Amino acid sequence: MDKPSRRNVLMAGGTLGAVGALSVASPAQAAPLWTWSPKGSVAGAGEGADPRGVWDPEADALVASLLDRGAVPEVNKLLRTWTKNSQALPAGLPADLRDFMERARRLPSWADQGKLATAVEFNKKRGLYLGVTYGFASGMMSTVIPREARAVYYSKGGADIKDRITKTAKLGYDIGSLKAYQPDGEMIVTCVKTRLAHAGVRHLLPKSPYWTKVADEKVPISQADMMVTWHSLPTTVMQNLVKWKVPIPAAESEAFLHSWQLSAHMLGIKDEYIPNSWAEANSQAKQVLDPILAATPEGIKLAHMLLNLGAVIDGGLLTKPILGSLTRYILGDEIAGWLKIPRDLFWDSAFEVAWEPFVQVREGLLSLDRAPGILKTVYWAFDEIIRVAALLFLSEGTMPISIEIPTGNNPD
Ligand code: HEM
């Protein structure tokens, strides 16, 4: 047999990626091979190239050029007025950017309006649980995704984490809002702007002396990195809702997936990497997300910023231990340990014993009388958590939020 080369490994496996060549991860988090087949993707076929070596070439070259020619501040200013999906692009944008955005804002042929309408139903019914899961399953998980934690910490947004959370939460709000991908919704705008922001980060972060010292890749936010983060969102959210036995009709579950598949496409992820079902999503997540979770100093700091979010309510006295225990309950003891989240005897066991019965009681599937006694003591707190989390992570906010292309790093 011929010596295995990158070319014949790719050809033989169809989906096997560049073995090790693209991955310079430290041994502690050695990246697994990319063996996920594009047959399980929304495209149904593809080259099967390792997504760790694929970025977003057209957007990246364009934004790099905008940054190099000093056009970004003016572009950001103009784009603040572009907020609705069907709205014409503002006059005065550079021609190359306008041309790209006109194409990038188009939904793919596989977008299914029926499914999107069902997704709206799901978001309406399940909004309260979605706030908790986006915030404390996905948000907290992002702090143990080393590449994301480092990129966030050393990019411009890392200097003001509250502002960043508000901007990121905008995507969660937009995807779940009534209009989402409709002409008068904002999700397409949010995705296209985020795609441009990511392209900016790819150009700028490699110039950060802080990031380059700790990074294990030359250019951040590859297609693989994006899928990792994607799984920390819908895949992790759905896994938790299923674990908590929240009743979800199959059509709504599929519709929620569809709205996120579409967001992946609109963020510039290639269709051949986007899973076509929950089964495929779970199998891809097992391969790309689970093995890379690890602690970093940057992630620990970000996690504690998230835990301190409730400090505005009570100085952190009660909210910090409660949110810490919620994180421990959702992500497990190992990850809570990495993040140096202290144990709390009362709240740790309250979540362990009473969270699932709480969901069952809320869903009318269990009477409070038959639930564990502790639930009567903590019901108000659990109810408040889901209400405040929904407000924090899924509400529109009072200020207009504009996602912008960064012009520097943190700190410059
Ligand atoms: C910016 C969402 C993947 C790093 C943003 C923003 C959103 C977003 C909404 C704009 C918010 C802001 O400007 O602060 C997403 C989604 C992803 C994804 C939905 C995947 C499906 C990633 C990955 C990384 C990353 C994989 C890094 C490995 C960043 C950074 C910024 C950003 C550094 C810019 C912050 C700044 O302006 O300095 N992302 N992101 N993102 N994202 Fe992502």
* Residue 198 alpha carbon to ligand 1 centre in Å: 6
Residues 162, 232, single domain; the answer is yes
Residues 193, 229, single domain; the answer is yes
For ligand 1, atom 7, the nearest C-alpha belongs to: 168
Asked if 131 and 392 count as a contact pair (C-beta separation under 8 A), the reply is: yes
300-309 pLDDT per residue, tens: 999 998 898 7
* Residue 123 alpha carbon to ligand 1 centre in Å: 22
Q: What is the pLDDT of residue 20?
A: 28
Question: Which helix (DSSP H) or strand (DSSP E) does residue 301 occupy?
Answer: helix 297-307
Give the nearest ligand 1 atom to 267 CA.
21
Residues 58, 199, single domain; the answer is yes
Give the nearest ligand 1 atom to 264 CA.
21
- Predicted confidence (pLDDT) at residue 326 exceeds the cutoff of 90: yes
Both tokens assigned to 389: 């989390």
Q: Is residue 229 part of a domain?
A: yes
Residues 224, 359, single domain; the answer is no
346-363 pLDDT per residue, tens: 999 999 999 999 999 999
Domain count within the chain: 2
Measured from the CB, is residue 198 less than 6 Å from ligand 1?
yes
Residues 232, 178, single domain; the answer is yes
Q: What is the pLDDT of residue 396?
A: 67
ipTM: 0.98
Q: Is residue 373 part of a domain?
A: yes
Asked if 36 and 16 count as a contact pair (C-beta separation under 8 A), the reply is: no
What DSSP designation does 159 have? G
* Residue 288 alpha carbon to ligand 1 centre in Å: 18
Asked if 52 and 23 count as a contact pair (C-beta separation under 8 A), the reply is: yes
Residues 325, 286, single domain; the answer is no
Measured from the CB, is residue 151 less than 6 Å from ligand 1?
yes
Measured from the CB, is residue 150 less than 6 Å from ligand 1?
no
Name the residue range of residue 183's domain: 54-292
Give dist(CA 263, CA 193) in Å, integer: 12
32-43 pLDDT per residue, tens: 678 899 999 999
Residues 328, 270, single domain; the answer is no
Q: Within a 13 Å sphere around the CA of 132, how many CA atoms are in the beta-carbon half?
A: 24
Residues 207, 288, single domain; the answer is yes
Give the nearest ligand 1 atom to 220 CA.
28
236-295 pLDDT per residue, tens: 999 999 999 999 999 999 999 999 999 999 999 999 999 999 999 999 999 999 999 999
Measured from the CB, is residue 273 less than 6 Å from ligand 1?
no
- Predicted confidence (pLDDT) at residue 2 exceeds the cutoff of 50: no
Residues 163, 264, single domain; the answer is yes
Residues 81, 217, single domain; the answer is yes
* Residue 98 alpha carbon to ligand 1 centre in Å: 22
Q: What is the mean pLDDT of the chain?
A: 89
Measured from the CB, is residue 225 less than 6 Å from ligand 1?
yes
* Residue 248 alpha carbon to ligand 1 centre in Å: 29
Residues 277, 180, single domain; the answer is yes
Measured from the CB, is residue 267 less than 6 Å from ligand 1?
yes
Give the nearest ligand 1 atom to 200 CA.
34
Q: Is residue 59 part of a domain?
A: yes
Q: Is residue 28 part of a domain?
A: no
Q: What is the pLDDT of residue 5?
A: 35
Q: Is residue 336 part of a domain?
A: yes
Q: What is the pLDDT of residue 185?
A: 94
67-99 pLDDT per residue, tens: 999 999 999 999 999 999 999 999 999 999 999
8-32 pLDDT per residue, tens: 322 332 222 222 223 233 434 456 6
Residues 70, 142, single domain; the answer is yes
147-187 pLDDT per residue, tens: 999 999 999 888 777 777 778 888 888 998 889 999 999 99
